[in-house]
């Protein structure tokens, strides 16, 4: 289902209390009885609860369970979406919701905007009480920006076979009664955990902003999925950079598990003049280049003011043609006098230094619910699958095949924790995503893995036959 926020502004305080009560009751009941909703919501009477339930049911935020022996309600994805957005709004993270910008097999991506600074009081900039909700203290800066809201929707694809294959769905433990909503929460928690530790360690991932229930708010990357790119100027360079990312993740104890063209965004960065050259290790940004050019201009002007005029000073006729034309065709010609000639030359040098020289393609990794540790029992198969996905795609789309074999799992395993690299898998587990949660989510990923790989192979065959590019964002 798509995110529908038209009912968000019309819900009353009683509606929010009842919706929250249904969510709490879902932890122990597949269908939450009305008396339990009354008890959890702490409303005055049953009639108030029934009125709110009728409104919520009409909006599609709760639904009744057919065949139940009692009157009960369950939470829908729409209700969970409203609860998460309400929490983000109260936490001054999300102010408005835009268009849907991407659809994955088990997630939706929506553009959202933070609140303006004028609408935030000084007391509301504190992080909400929910753990791991806000990590960027400067998200309320007065800047025009957008964020990406990711909503996990586990169970939307291939759910028919999974319900018969997954054993733990048939267990009657309280933790499994919520099924898909519960798994979506686990997937969001795992992605938030790994996204936070990866960003803090300097990996090319979106900046995490906030997390609540089955949603994540993160930096909106101005790029395109690798799947949508028809050609690149240097396939060998991009291929080598992606292999370096796989090895770098392994060195820090992690394997992506789904490292393919769907989960790699390509961002275009402008590389400035020689002083601002930024090829795989930037030394100066554009602002620093401009400052250095301005400093040279000021130094040359000071020298002109201090030194007396001499006949050797360049005039308009002695200036090189390319320096006298640096102002551009749309500007008014400047009369160059003997005293102003160095100033014009300095301005020309500043303009030349700030010109963009080339475009750099930067890969950004997304989608982390399936990420595993290098110590996982099936780590070798996950590692080799990531490597083969990149090799197969570059051979099919760009016609590039590397002459060098590998990289190999055995070589990557020897580098784990070396040269001061931290074990991010251990750090992620210590941050709240327990082994029990990982095992529960991994059972789901194992069951849907075959179906997802089959669908991706089918999409690849369609690309080869039709040669077209999709318009949607990849499988984030």
Angle at CA of residue 190, ends 189 and 193, nearest 5°: 85
For strand 215-219 and strand 107-113, is the pairing parallel, antiparallel, or unpaired?
unpaired
pLDDT of residue 94: 93
Percent of the chain with pLDDT over 90: 41
pLDDT of residue 2: 82
Q: Is the pLDDT of residue 355 over 70?
A: no
Q: Is the pLDDT of residue 292 over 60?
A: no
The predicted model gives 316-344 an average pLDDT of 46
pLDDT of residue 437: 61
Q: Is the pLDDT of residue 156 over 70?
A: no
| Active site amino acids | 258
Q: Of the spans 7-21, 113-127, 279-293, which averages the highest pLDDT?
A: 7-21
pLDDT of residue 469: 33
Q: Which residues contact 246 (CB under 8 A, 6 or more apart)?
A: 256, 259, 383, 386, 387, 390, 407, 412
Q: Report yes or no: 213 and 182 within 8 Å, Cβ to Cβ.
A: no
The predicted model gives 46-59 an average pLDDT of 93
The predicted model gives 311-336 an average pLDDT of 45
In 168-311, DSSP assigns E strands to: 208-212, 215-219, 223-225, 254-255, 264-271
Stretch among 273-277, 420-424, 442-446 having the lowest mean pLDDT: 273-277
pLDDT of residue 88: 95
pLDDT tens track for 405-428: 889 999 999 999 888 888 888 888
CA distances from 471 to 229, 348, 474 (A): 11, 43, 9
pLDDT of residue 370: 84
The predicted model gives 167-196 an average pLDDT of 70
Q: Of the spans 57-66, 160-169, 387-396, 428-437, which averages the highest pLDDT?
A: 387-396
pLDDT of residue 116: 82
The predicted model gives 289-302 an average pLDDT of 52
Between 247 and 460, residue with greater pLDDT: 247
Mean pLDDT, the chain, integer:
74
Q: Is the pLDDT of residue 333 over 60?
A: no
User: What are the structure tokens assigned to 416, written together?
Assistant: 């784990």
In 259-304, DSSP assigns E strands to: 264-271
Q: Is the pLDDT of residue 139 over 50?
A: no
Backbone angles phi, psi at 295, to 5 degrees: -65, -40
Between 377 and 454, residue with greater pLDDT: 377
pLDDT of residue 280: 39
Q: Is the pLDDT of residue 242 over 50?
A: yes
Element (H, E) at 447: helix 435-466
pLDDT of residue 42: 92
First to last CA, the chain: 16
pLDDT of residue 440: 62
Burial of residue 351 (CB within 10 Å: 0-12, 13-18, 19+) is middle
The predicted model gives 12-23 an average pLDDT of 94
Q: Report yes or no: 265 and 428 within 8 Å, Cβ to Cβ.
A: no
User: pTM (2 decimals)?
Assistant: 0.69
């Amino acid at each position: 289902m798509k995110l529908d926020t038209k009912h968000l502004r019309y819900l009353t305080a009683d509606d929010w209390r009842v919706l929250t009560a249904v969510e709490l009751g879902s932890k122990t009941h597949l269908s939450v009885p009305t008396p339990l909703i009354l008890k959890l919501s702490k409303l005055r009477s049953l009639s108030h609860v029934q009125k709110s339930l009728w409104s919520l049911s009409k909006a599609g935020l709760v639904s009744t369970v057919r065949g139940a022996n009692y009157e009960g309600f369950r939470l829908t994805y729409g209700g969970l979406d409203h609860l998460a957005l309400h929490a983000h709004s109260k936490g001054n993270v999300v102010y408005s919701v835009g268009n849907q910008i991407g659809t994955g097999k088990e997630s939706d991506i929506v553009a959202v905007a933070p609140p303006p600074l004028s609408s935030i009081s000084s007391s509301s900039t504190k992080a909400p009480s929910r753990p791991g909700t806000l990590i960027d203290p400067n998200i309320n800066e007065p800047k025009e920006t957008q964020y990406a809201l990711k909503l996990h929707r586990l169970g939307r694809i291939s759910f028919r076979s999974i319900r018969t294959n997954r054993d733990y769905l048939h267990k009657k433990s309280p933790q499994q009664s919520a099924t898909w909503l519960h798994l979506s929460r686990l997937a969001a928690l795992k992605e938030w955990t790994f996204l936070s530790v990866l960003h803090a360690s300097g990996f090319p991932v979106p900046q995490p902003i906030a997390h609540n229930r089955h949603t994540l708010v993160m930096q909106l990357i101005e790029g395109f999925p690798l799947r949508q790119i028809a050609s690149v100027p240097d396939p060998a360079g991009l291929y080598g950079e992606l292999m370096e990312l796989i090895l770098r993740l392994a060195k820090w104890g992690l394997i992506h598990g789904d490292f393919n063209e769907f989960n790699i965004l390509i961002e275009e960065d402008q590389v400035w003049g020689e002083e601002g050259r930024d090829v795989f290790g930037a030394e100066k940004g554009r602002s620093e280049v401009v400052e250095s050019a301005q400093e040279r201009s000021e130094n040359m002007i000071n020298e002109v003011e201090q030194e007396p005029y001499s006949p050797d000073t360049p005039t308009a006729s002695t200036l090189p043609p390319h320096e006298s034309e640096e102002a551009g065709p749309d500007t008014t010609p400047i009369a160059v006098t003997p005293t102003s000639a160095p100033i014009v030359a300095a301005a020309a040098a500043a303009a030349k230094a700030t010109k963009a020289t080339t475009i750099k393609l930067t890969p950004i990794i997304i989608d982390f619910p399936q990420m595993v540790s290098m110590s996982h029992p099936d780590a070798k198969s996950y590692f080799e699958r990531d490597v083969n996905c990149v090799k197969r795609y570059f051979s099919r789309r760009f016609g590039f095949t590397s002459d060098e074999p590998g990289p190999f799992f055995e070589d990557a395993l020897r580098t784990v924790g070396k040269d001061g690299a931290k074990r991010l898998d251990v750090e992620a587990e210590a941050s709240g995503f327990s082994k029990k949660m990982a095992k529960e989510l991994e059972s789901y990923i194992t069951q849907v893995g075959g179906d997802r790989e089959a669908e991706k192979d089918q999409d690849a065959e369609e690309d080869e036959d039709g040669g077209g590019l999709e318009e949607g964002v990849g499988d984030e």
